A and B are shown apart, each in its own frame.
Chain A
Amino acid sequence: MLAKRIIPCLDIKDGRTVKGTNFVNLRDAGDPVALASLYAEQGADELVFLDITATNEKRKTLSALVEKVAHTINIPFTVGGGISSMEDVRILLDCGADKVSINTAAFNSPELINKLAGEFGSQCIVVAIDAKRQVDGEWYVYSNGGRKPTEFTCLDWAKEVVSRGAGEILLTSMDHDGTKAGFALEITTLISNSVGVPIIASGGGGKPEHFYDVLNGCADAALAASVFHFGEIRIPALKTYLNNKHIPVRIK
């Protein structure tokens, strides 16, 4: 049976792991290669590296990091953050990344999704969507790292990215991110039931029960960062808990 995936996310700045709460107040949580290796040993199913470096050196430091990670871990990993061209993707895949995650660039030029899927295959194109519920009750897409509201509903955009060739959707609820109060079950279920590709739920995982709730619902995978980085949830214990509750998970 296909297992539900547990995915630690490492936010990277200048080659170091950081994680913010509601996308601000960054805290340092260590060396990404050491952390990645630890998570792989603990039974993480995949890793996501999100690079938030904004300097000209970004491309060089990121590809060096990806190369190091690829030589260290033996599970799949995704790289995202500021990817905006075919060339960016080619470099990262050549360095050993299995998938790339695109967000703002896909929003600004949706045909990029078609081009990337055509060139590299849908299986390695993850489209990340940051969403927030507005006063009208609808979930809307935010671009530019969650700073820029858009007029696109999350549902419409999810359907469009899948029709253009996205192989997975990484759905982050900005309302839940950093709260440790649970994942956004309603929008995750809606999106998962509306598109035919796997959904990675992100934002709000604080307790094992939260992971159960979202994986027992419709998410194919659940992603979190600080709860893993600061040892509040340990992956082996989380997987044992989920397994006991009859969620199919990979236990070594």
Chain B
Amino acid sequence: MNIAILKYNAGNVRSVQITLERLGIMATLTDDHEVLLSADRVIFPGVGEASSAMKYLQDRKLDKLLIDLKQPVLGICLGMQLMCSYSEENNTTCLGLFEETVLKFKSTQAGEKIPQIGWNTIECLNSPLFNGVEEGAYCYFVNGYRADKGIHTIAETNYCGSYSSALHIRNYYGVQFHPEKSAAVGSKILENFINIPF
């Protein structure tokens, strides 16, 4: 199988590639349009800042390419947020695949630090992406912004209130947590993504 990981100006893009290698899957880190279009799966990873990432994608016409892919696509963390309609982070218009919007966390009680860093539970799981994953499984999160809940929500997490920790529409999937760093649970989710029929 031919898996492409989108290479752009965000951090941690390599750790997804390393994790797939550990699962015995070779993936190409690329920003080449042809390679991305012909891949069997596309992974859109990254941690970083929304507006500079969007600008980078627009400058390379990757924004147009990303919204028109036919194969299964998985956005991770910032990747998922950029697939939403809008991010409050520097007032950024995003790709608009998911109509949900991305807002900054607001502490509702003492001890809720921002960004959220660490392991949190995923609940209300509602997608083949979570086959074999238990309700309330722990995943690793690092995020200062989060997507609202909406019609595309397929998993919820509670931090400063409940938000979308995963979204899905057509061939597009997004997860706020880092499956590549989420131990056996994360590996299972990545395997499920790879096994989505196409």
Query: Chain A residues in contact with chain B, CB under 8 A?
Result: 1-5, 40, 45, 70-72, 74-76, 93-94, 96, 98, 120-124, 167-168, 196-198, 218, 220-221, 250, 252
CB-CB < 8 A to A96: which residues of B? 14-15, 18
Contact with A along B1-36 (1 / 0, CB 8 A): 000000000011011001101100000000000000
Name B115's contact: one of A45, A71, A122 (CB within 8 Å): A122
* Count of A-B residue pairs with CB < 8 Å: 83
CB distance from B178 to the nearest CB of A (A): 8
CB distance from A95 to the nearest CB of B (A): 8
CB-CB < 8 A to B115: which residues of A? 122-123, 167
CB-CB < 8 A to A218: which residues of B? 111
Q: Closest B residue to A72 by CB, please name it.
A: B22
17 contacts between A and B (CB under 8 A): A1-B120, A1-B121, A2-B119, A2-B159, A3-B118, A5-B118, A45-B118, A70-B18, A74-B180, A74-B183, A76-B181, A93-B12, A94-B14, A121-B11, A121-B48, A123-B117, A221-B118
CB-CB < 8 A to B116: which residues of A? 2
Q: With an 8 A cutoff between CB atoms, is B79 at the interface?
A: no
Q: Is the CB of B184 within 8 A of A2?
A: no
Name B120's contact: one of A3, A120, A124 (CB within 8 Å): A3
User: What is the number of residues of chain B that contact chain A, defined by CB distance less than 8 Å?
Assistant: 35
Complex CA distance for A220 and B116, rounded to whole angstroms: 11
Complex CA distance for A27 and B14, rounded to whole angstroms: 34
Q: Which of B21, B120, B178 has the most CB of A within 10 A?
A: B120
Q: Is the CB of B183 within 8 A of A71?
A: no
Q: Is the CB of B113 within 8 A of A74?
A: no
Q: Is the interface of A mostly helix, strand, loop or mixed?
A: loop
CB-CB < 8 A to B142: which residues of A? 123
CB distance from B2 to the nearest CB of A (A): 21
CB-CB < 8 A to A45: which residues of B? 118-119
Q: Is the CB of B118 within 8 A of A120?
A: no
CB-CB < 8 A to A168: which residues of B? 117
Name A196's contact: one of B47, B113, B182, B187 (CB within 8 Å): B113
Complex CA distance for A121 and B47, rounded to whole angstroms: 8
CB-CB < 8 A to B180: which residues of A? 74
CB-CB < 8 A to A124: which residues of B? 11-12, 47
Q: With an 8 A cutoff between CB atoms, is B186 at the interface?
A: yes
Q: Is the CB of B18 within 8 A of A220?
A: no
Q: Which of B48, B49, B118, B158 has the most CB of A within 10 A?
A: B118
Q: With an 8 A cutoff between CB atoms, is B138 at the interface?
A: yes
CB distance from A69 to the nearest CB of B (A): 10
Q: Closest A residue to B46 by CB, please name it.
A: A121
Complex CA distance for A1 and B120, rounded to whole angstroms: 6
Complex CA distance for A98 and B48, rounded to whole angstroms: 13
Q: Closest B residue to A67 by CB, please name it.
A: B18
Name B113's contact: one of A76, A93, A197, A252 (CB within 8 Å): A197
CB distance from A1 to the nearest CB of B (A): 7
CB distance from B49 to the nearest CB of A (A): 7
Complex CA distance for A167 and B12, rounded to whole angstroms: 15
Q: Is the CB of B183 within 8 A of A75?
A: yes
Q: Is the CB of A98 within 8 A of B118?
A: no
CB-CB < 8 A to A250: which residues of B? 119, 138
